[in-house]
């Protein structure tokens, strides 16, 4: 039995070794497939790229999947493929990783933030509709934590005004919305293969779409604005190519694609494991006063990239940051997702001080703590998370008579 004294105050920590909030899991098979590619003729834009793209398209149920060198590059590609440029506006969430809004700036357009809904912390369709101006060209919802955004509402708004819905699903590979897989619903859906995400390629990203024009533009964008790739030219004995638009080199390598492809075979199992951990947390932590667990809507099956809890400042003594430090001292690699984008120094400098403009996102960001959540977590590690949260919350809940 660990003592009740917080590790922060010199007590025995629940864990000696820090449990990270997210972490990749690689198998010997993953490594062997990568080694095979290293011995092959193609290190980049070879057969593995196409196979990996097909595997993702099949998994989500989309007609096309176009790989990119990172999730951020994929977001940029999607914004470019939607024809967004200077003078245009894209409505997005402030409660996200800064890359979501940055990709709009890359194209010389303006990210317009709308507030989030208090339950899911996803972009609020009512606030989006209030902020749509004639300059708006796209809506860019984020599936926060892996819980799908209100996609049908955004598609209806987009239909009405001729906008594109670009979904940042970096957290949501494997999630379902109204029975459909995320990746088959929005005009374009963006995934990331960063090591903390559900499938990793080291760095990597993908855009899925059912629209052939979007797919063609995405392919050009990642390859300098050239309409064919080197492998296709070699196969057809052609040397001639033309650059017809300004693109980038955002190509994913065959080395990375082989790793992603190998990881795909365990995606369903891994998402299921995350769901099990989420259920275990919910069952064990629900009774703790002052701790608000992530809400799941009845029409959503989240992919559980994160397990973000909120500490209620009315019930809990002290600040979120104190609780955060206490959890770290107990050996939990807790994190905060996110600092609202408009509060970052770059955005303050460029757009002025807009603190207070998106109050729900800002309040959430003051209360949020992401508990460790990754598919390779053992039952024992999940129990450590529960034990550490219980131990720390006992010290901070205002009414010490409550027992949990
Ligand atoms: C991870 C992430 C990205 C960016 O992905 P990278 O592959 O790291 O470039 C974008 N948006 C969100 C919400 C993310 O979590």
Please write the tens of the pLDDT for every residue from 336-345. Answer: 999 999 999 9
Residue ranges lining ligand 1, Cβ < 6 Å:
70-72, 96-97, 99-100, 142, 168, 170-171, 192, 194, 205
Mutation to probe ligand 1, out of 111, 168, 260 (largest number of atoms < 8 A from CB):
168
**Cα 142 to averaged position of ligand 1 atoms, centre (Å):** 10
**Cα 104 to averaged position of ligand 1 atoms, centre (Å):** 14
Distance (Å, whole) CA 394 – CA 201: 40
Phi, psi torsion values for 289, nearest 5 degrees: -65, 145
**Cα 71 to averaged position of ligand 1 atoms, centre (Å):** 5
Q: Output the residue whose Cα is nearest ligand 1's atom 2.
A: 170
Contact at 8 Å (CB) between 371 and 285?
no
Phi, psi torsion values for 5, nearest 5 degrees: -70, 130
In the predicted model, is pLDDT for residue 378 greater than 70? Answer: yes
Contact at 8 Å (CB) between 113 and 93?
yes
Beta bridge partners of 57: none
Kindly state the average pLDDT of the residues 69-96. Answer: 98
**Cα 197 to averaged position of ligand 1 atoms, centre (Å):** 9
In the predicted model, is pLDDT for residue 128 greater than 80? Answer: yes
* Each residue's pLDDT tens digit, 175-225: 999 999 999 999 999 999 999 999 999 999 999 999 999 999 999 999 999
Kindly state the average pLDDT of the residues 41-46. Answer: 93
Q: Give the C-alpha distances (Å, rounded to integers) separating 28 from 51, 265, 266.
A: 20, 13, 13
Distance (Å, whole) CA 328 – CA 388: 9
Confidence of residue 229 (pLDDT cuts 50, 70, 90): confident
Atom of ligand 1 nearest to the CA of 100: 11
Distance (Å, whole) CA 157 – CA 178: 18
Q: Output the residue whose Cα is nearest ligand 1's atom 6.
A: 71
Phi, psi torsion values for 245, nearest 5 degrees: -150, 165
**3-state SS record for the chain:** CCCCCCHHHCCCCCCCCCECCCCCCCCHHHHHHHHHHHCCCCCECCHHHHHHHHHHHHHHCCCEEEEECCHHHHHHHHHHHCCCCCCCEEEECCCCCCHHHHHHHHCCCEEEECCECCCCCCECHHHHHHHCCCCEEEEECECHHHCCCCHHHHHHHHHHHCCEEEEECCCCCCCEECCEECCCCCCEEEEECCCCCCCCCCCCEEEEECCHHHHHHHHHHCECCECCCHHHHHHHCCCCCCECCCCCECCCEHHHHHHHHHHHCCHHHHHHHHHHHHHHHHHHHCCCCCEECCCCCCCEECCCCCEEEEECCCCECCCHHHHHHHHHHCCECCECCCCCHHHCHHHHHHHCCCCCCCHHHHHHHHHEEEECCCCCCCHHHHHHHHHHHHHHHHHHECCCCCCC
* 63 Cβ neighbours under 8 A, 6+ residues apart: 57, 209, 210, 211, 212, 215
Atom of ligand 1 nearest to the CA of 74: 9
pLDDT averaged over the chain? 95
In the predicted model, is pLDDT for residue 21 greater than 60? Answer: yes
Distance (Å, whole) CA 56 – CA 46: 17
In the predicted model, is pLDDT for residue 150 greater than 70? Answer: yes
**Cα 170 to averaged position of ligand 1 atoms, centre (Å):** 5
pTM, two decimal places: 0.96
In the predicted model, is pLDDT for residue 401 greater than 90? Answer: no
Tokens of 291: 């701790």
Kindly state the average pLDDT of the residues 136-163. Answer: 98
Confidence of residue 402 (pLDDT cuts 50, 70, 90): low
In the predicted model, is pLDDT for residue 1 greater than 60? Answer: no
**What is the separation of C-alpha 178 from the centre of its chain, rounded to a whole number of angstroms?**
19
Atom of ligand 1 nearest to the CA of 203: 7
**pLDDT at residue 230 in the model:** 72
Contact at 8 Å (CB) between 198 and 267?
yes
Mutation to probe ligand 1, out of 21, 68, 69, 72 (largest number of atoms < 8 A from CB):
72
- Residues recognised as catalytic: 197
Distance (Å, whole) CA 300 – CA 127: 21
Q: Output the residue whose Cα is nearest ligand 1's atom 7.
A: 71
* Each residue's pLDDT tens digit, 256-284: 999 999 999 999 999 999 999 999 999 99
Q: Give the C-alpha distances (Å, rounded to integers) separating 110 from 43, 113, 136, 340.
A: 37, 10, 9, 16
Tokens 């990996």 locate to: 52
Report the share of the chain in percent with pLDDT over 70. 98
Q: Could you tell me which of 189, 150, 160, 153 has the C-alpha nearest to residue 172?
A: 189
Confidence of residue 88 (pLDDT cuts 50, 70, 90): very high
């Amino acid at each position: 039995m660990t003592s009740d004294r917080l590790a922060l105050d010199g007590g025995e920590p629940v864990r000696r070794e820090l449990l990270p909030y997210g972490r990749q899991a690689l198998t010997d098979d993953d490594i062997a497939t990568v080694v095979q590619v290293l011995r092959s003729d193609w290190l980049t834009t070879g057969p593995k790229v196409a196979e990996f793209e097909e595997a993702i398209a099949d998994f989500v149920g989309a007609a096309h999947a176009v790989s990119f060198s990172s999730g951020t590059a994929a977001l940029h590609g999607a914004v470019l493929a939607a024809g967004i440029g200077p003078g245009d506006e894209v409505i997005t969430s402030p409660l996200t990783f800064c890359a979501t809004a940055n990709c709009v700036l890359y194209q010389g357009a303006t990210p317009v933030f709308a507030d989030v809904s208090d339950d899911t912390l996803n972009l609020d369709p009512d606030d989006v509709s209030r902020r749509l101006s004639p300059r708006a060209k796209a809506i860019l919802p984020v599936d926060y934590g892996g819980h799908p955004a209100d996609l049908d509402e955004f598609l209806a708004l987009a239909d009405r005004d001729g906008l594109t819905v670009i979904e940042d699903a970096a957290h949501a590979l494997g999630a379902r919305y109204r029975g459909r897989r995320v990746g088959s619903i929005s005009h374009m859906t963006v995934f990331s293969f960063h090591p903390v995400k559900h499938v990793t390629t080291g760095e990597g990203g993908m855009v899925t779409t059912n629209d052939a024009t979007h797919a063609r533009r995405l392919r050009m964008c990642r390859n300098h604005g050239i309409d064919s790739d080197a492998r296709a030219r070699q196969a057809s004995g052609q040397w001639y190519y033309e650059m017809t638009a300004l693109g980038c080199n955002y190509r994913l390598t065959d080395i990375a694609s082989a790793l992603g492809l190998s990881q795909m075979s365990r995606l369903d199992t891994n998402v299921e494991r995350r769901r099990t951990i989420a259920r275990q947390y919910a069952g064990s932590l629900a009774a703790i006063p002052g701790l608000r667990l992530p809400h799941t809507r009845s029409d959503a099956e989240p992919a559980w990239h994160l397990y973000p809890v909120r500490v209620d400042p009315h019930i809990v003594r002290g600040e979120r940051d104190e609780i955060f430090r206490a959890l770290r001292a107990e050996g939990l690699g807790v994190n905060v997702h996110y600092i609202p984008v408009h509060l970052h120094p770059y955005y303050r400098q460029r757009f002025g001080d807009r603190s207070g403009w998106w109050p729900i996102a800002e309040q959430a960001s003051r209360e949020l703590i992401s508990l460790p959540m990754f598919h390779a977590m053992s039952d024992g590690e999940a129990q450590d998370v529960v034990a550490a949260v219980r131990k720390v919350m006992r010290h901070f809940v205002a009414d010490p008579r409550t027992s949990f």
